[in-house]
A and B are shown apart, each in its own frame.
Chain A
Amino acid sequence: MQLIVFIVATLMVLVGAVGVIVRKHPVHAALSLILTLFGIAVHFVALEANFLAAVQVIVYAGAIVVLFLFVIMLLGVDASEDLRTDPITAQRPLGAIVAVAILALVGTSIIVSRGILKVTAAGKAVKAANNLRDLARSIFSDYVFAFELTSVLLVIAVVGTVLLARKLPKPEPAVKS
């Protein structure tokens, strides 16, 4: 049963990810991104991170993708790019080489250390029902300073965006005396 859930969620993640990078239209790419984010949320549930799965759906698939769609609508939906031509010579083969190199590097390091990457006894003892309590205790005791700093970060982000998106008022014409 868990295997079937894993396979279905992995297919969602991979199909969505490929959809983001091959779809020409930004709206289709954003909808593919939702598919990927839901797949990740299913994986979170399978890994017994229930609270993060809920936050993933609400914040990512809800707020962030809606923000993307809102900006796409604001800027006009006809801004699809021509995917048949390569603007820079050999950009795509080089990009593919870099991506495969990253995958090979990370994958090799995972496979080499596969002996210690098994669920330990401490990992098996964690109960999913206590997930929210454990997470709250961790955030509000060990990481409470970082948590307070994130509020500062969010305020800075909001103020910065208001400044960026504001249309500057036209300078007043100089009054002739």
Chain B
Amino acid sequence: MNAVMIAIIEPQPIWYLMLSALLFSIGAFGVLVRRNPLIMFMCIELMLNAVNLSFVAFSRIWGDIGGQSTVFFVLVVAAAEVVVGLGIIVSILRRKPGATADDISLMKG
């Protein structure tokens, strides 16, 4: 009986959207709470992935490939963002080793 139920139930797109909302809020919590710049950056990646998941779910709902194209561009922009962001983090931490987000809150070096 249970095996039959498991075989029949199909995941609905709304489940993916709820998972995406949950993942986004976990990422937002991490950005707000953590102070290590690298981990804040990883939390931003979590949020980007949550949005990507919801784009693909919407693409599945409407049968429109445009959502997947958008995810492709988000991937490219995320790669560029990681490269520039890690460059900034390296140059900050080279000057102040072990700096957290609180130590670099001033806009001057």
Contacts and interface: CB of A to CB of B under 8 A. Distances in A.
A134 B80 contact: no
Contacts of A81: 34-36, 100
Given A110-B17, A114-B14, A143-B73, A36 B49 contact: yes
B104 interface: no
Interface bin, chain B: 35 or more
Contacts of B59: 47, 49
- Dominant secondary structure of chain A at its interface with chain B: helix
B106 interface: no
Given A99-B29, A138-B66, A154-B79, A106 B24 contact: yes
Interface string B61-97: 1111110110111011111111110111111011001
Interface residues of A, number: 89
Residue picked from B62, B84, B87, most chain A C-beta under 10 Å: B87
27 contacts: A3-B6, A3-B9, A4-B6, A14-B23, A14-B26, A20-B39, A21-B30, A40-B53, A49-B68, A49-B71, A76-B97, A80-B36, A96-B29, A99-B28, A99-B32, A110-B17, A119-B13, A120-B62, A123-B60, A126-B60, A135-B68, A138-B66, A142-B66, A147-B73, A156-B80, A157-B80, A161-B83
Interface of B: 6-7, 9-19, 21-30, 32-36, 38-39, 41-43, 45-46, 49, 52-53, 56-57, 59-66, 68-69, 71-73, 75-84, 86-91, 93-94, 97-98, 100, 102
